[in-house]
Structure 1
């Protein structure tokens, strides 16, 4: 299985292709998306598209990585490094919950599950760019807070997994099963707040 990490290319044409591919993949899924349609929506020729991306799978992988990287940077930028742990966790929880129930995350989650057996590298890319990367960053912050005495954690890796699962409470399942697709800021904030309260009740120093 090819688990090579995609390399995000830069440039106006590349950005056009990634934006167009994102639109088509979210609308048509992986199997239903055609390179012709992606090129058309992107406003480039197929030759230009193939000069940057070798095939549809590689393009899908790079769309995933670009979006997950953007989300990660956005959340990190909102966290004040000098803020109390509870406040920093609340910011992280809100950003994480919002992303988990977003149209992009939910659509890609379904696509990866549907294509898991035929194209396992798609799921591998999403796992490494999204859940795994987010877990590693969260574990790093939790470890730092524990070392400073703001949290009392023996198993940082497990605590990071637990925090992520708390951010999935209620809304994620409803979104995954198609019960609802739109959630208010108040609903997202409630899940984030309760996640932090529960987490701090267990690990607060």
Structure 2
């Protein structure tokens, strides 16, 4: 009888390489936020890492690829969290409120705010940064939410329509309050009760718009 194949485990060398890559991304994220994209150099990051520039280039062939990897790590971690919150078995309104609260909390965090300001300030000179950011963060979040809303449509919980448009509507409503106030400098960071109020407002309006016809 054939024995089932054992799952492959990373070798010590691969583990060291993954740890080194993670260390590079941690340092690079702080460096990009401090110096901006234009002010960041591979040499500067290598010096802060305390290693050779060649080691850095072995992991990331260009500054653009390094920046994309930084964004991808941040976005991937949040997508994993969002996937857990989007429970198709849970009450729809409660689930959407939890998701919207989490989203607003994330985008108004210190880390996300700093990244957003970096993208806005640098994207005119480096338009590829805006595309990288959009592909890895807003677009993937919208697609993940759209997939959940499509399931809700199929279950008859909300009226049928384009799930991408539905996700866009819910995200726009969620970010129209304290997140917008933060971006224009009217507030520094929102309080939890303000985030909860924005989430409740967004879900209420969304469910009114997508109510199943009687």
Q: TM-score range by the shorter chain?
A: 0.7 to 0.9
Distance 1:77 1:45 in 2: 39
Match of 1:113 among 120, 123, 127: 120
Q: Is 1:62 the counterpart of 2:69 in the alignment?
A: yes
Distance 1:131 1:193 in 2: 21
Match of 2:39 among 12, 32, 57: 32
1:204 is paired with a residue whose SS is coil
Quote the residue 1:4 is aligned against. Answer: none
Match of 1:187 among 194, 198, 210: 194
Distance 2:104 2:23 in 1: 28
Shift of 1:43: 4.3
Distance 1:44 1:84 in 2: 51
Structure 2: stretches of 5+ with no match in the other structure: 1-16
Quote the residue 1:155 is aligned against. Answer: 162
The structure-2 alpha-carbon separation of the partners of 1:181 and 1:45, relative to structure 1 and needing over 3 Å to count, comes to farther
The structure-2 alpha-carbon separation of the partners of 1:180 and 1:24, relative to structure 1 and needing over 3 Å to count, comes to farther
Distance 1:28 1:88 in 2: 39
**Kept after mapping to 1: 8 A contact 2:28/2:70:** yes
User: Which entry has the higher C-alpha Rg, 1 or 2?
Assistant: 2
Distance 1:23 1:180 in 2: 24
Cα deviation, 1:169-190, whole Å, max 9, x if unaligned, reads 2212222123333222222122
Instruction: Flag as ranges the 4+ runs of structure 1 deviating above 4 A.
Output: none
Distance 2:186 2:65 in 1: 31
**For 1:74-113, what aligned pairs fall within 5 Å after superposition?**
74-113=81-120
Cα deviation, 1:10-31, whole Å, max 9, x if unaligned, reads 7000000001111111222212
The count of residues paired between Structure 1 and Structure 2 equals 196
Shift of 1:94: 1.2
The structure-2 alpha-carbon separation of the partners of 1:39 and 1:185, relative to structure 1 and needing over 3 Å to count, comes to farther
Distance 2:83 2:149 in 1: 14
Cα deviation, 1:145-167, whole Å, max 9, x if unaligned, reads 01100011323222211100111
Distance 1:75 1:175 in 2: 22
The Cα RMSD (Å) is 1.8
The structure-2 alpha-carbon separation of the partners of 1:43 and 1:94, relative to structure 1 and needing over 3 Å to count, comes to farther
Quote the residue 1:203 is aligned against. Answer: 210
TM-score normalized with structure 2 length: 0.84
Distance 1:82 1:99 in 2: 24
